[in-house]
Structure 1
Amino acid sequence: MAKVSPGEFVNQVQTEAKKIVWPTGRETIMTGVMVVIMTSLLGLFFFGIDTFFGAVVQWLLSIAAGQA
């Protein structure tokens, strides 16, 4: 790896920083809204799956307790 002087390093960092393209405010808000929607949908989905499997386990346990 080549050694770079501190001044050259700062110049390289500034050059790379100028290449950054930041999202607009609208893009940021739309992305945030999509994140909230997707996490809500996934939360509801996993809540439903957990409830279903919890009911199945309770049903199986009640069957097992009845046969003991």
Structure 2
Amino acid sequence: MATKTNPFTFLQQVRAEVSKVVWPSRREAAITTVMVFVMAIAASLFFTLADFLLSWGVQFLLGVGR
């Protein structure tokens, strides 16, 4: 069973670990956010086009939707 740590020691350990984190600059965070949106839009366009082409191909092969 794990040993219990008192709350004061726990908070000291948490503070020590958080101080090791390298936080991104405002510019890095903004660029990353924009890139996430760009990639999400690109992925949605790709899958929309793929869905359209596959549905067109299936309809063509089955002769449905004449």
What TM-score results when the alignment is normalised by the length of structure 1?
Answer: 0.79
Cα deviation digits, residues 4-37 of structure 1 (max 9, x gap):
1221111111111111221111001100111111
Percent identical pairs in the alignment equals 40
**Higher-RCO chain (CA-CA 8 Å, sequence separation at least 6):** 2
Larger Cα Rg: Structure 1 or Structure 2? 1
2:14 — aligned with what?
13
Quote the Cα distance in structure 2 between the aligned partners of 1:17 and 1:56: 54
Three-state SS of the structure 2 residue aligned to 1:2 is coil
The 3-state SS of whatever aligns with 2:20 is: coil
Query: Is 2:34 aligned against 1:33?
Result: yes
5+ long unaligned stretches in structure 1:
64-68
Q: TM-score, normalised by structure 2?
A: 0.81
Give runs of ≥4 in structure 1 deviating > 4 Å: none
Alignment correspondent of 2:23 = 22
Structure with a larger share of its residues in helix: 1
Task: Give the gaps of 5 or more residues in structure 2.
Answer: none
